Amino acid sequence: MTLSTLTLRVKRHKTTYFVQCSATDTVLALKRRVAKLVGRDPRDVRLLVPKDKMTTTVDYAAVHAKDKLAELEDKAVLDQLGVPDDAVVFAVFWVPGEINAAEGKWEPVDLPEPAPLVEADEELSEAEHADAGAPRADKGKARA
């Protein structure tokens, strides 16, 4: 059974937009929502997904390989495409030419891999460890 409301993660560079839409929406409707968020014309937005399978995780190797991503067609319906809830979709914009806007090109998908998380214990100094366990005097009923 398909959910009637989907939340999609639309990624561009280091930014992720959480976009709610209906499973019966077209790709063009999704593009309009994204375009409104970023202040662009929907015609200047292209949405891409991995060719093999839309997932809720990011395969960074596939993102940077041109032949591994497919453009979503404007008339396609999200439910018919098999778009799952919390799916990751990549957005790229049209970059107009310097002299003639029509002679521009689509920007490449540029999604940097996130840096690995540092363990919280490694980040805290000894003084911060001591302060972390101490109760705050200005919190809760103690202030009254």
Tokens 């302060």 identify what position? 131
Is the pLDDT at 2 greater than 50? The verdict is no
Global pTM value = 0.71
Q: How many residues does the chain have?
A: 144
Cβ contacts of 12-21, under 8 Å, gap ≥ 24: 12/38, 12/90, 12/91, 12/92, 12/93, 12/111, 13/110, 13/111, 13/112, 14/112, 17/91, 21/78
Q: With contact defined as beta carbons under 8 Å apart, do 106 and 92 qualify?
A: yes
pLDDT per position as a tens digit, 121-131: 555 555 565 55
pLDDT per position as a tens digit, 93-127: 998 877 776 788 888 888 777 777 776 555 555 55
Q: How far apart are CA 48 and CA 143, in angstroms?
A: 54
Task: Report all structural domains of the chain as residue ranges with CATH numbers, in order of start.
Answer: 5-106 (3.10.20.90)
- Name the residue with higher pLDDT: 10 or 1: 10
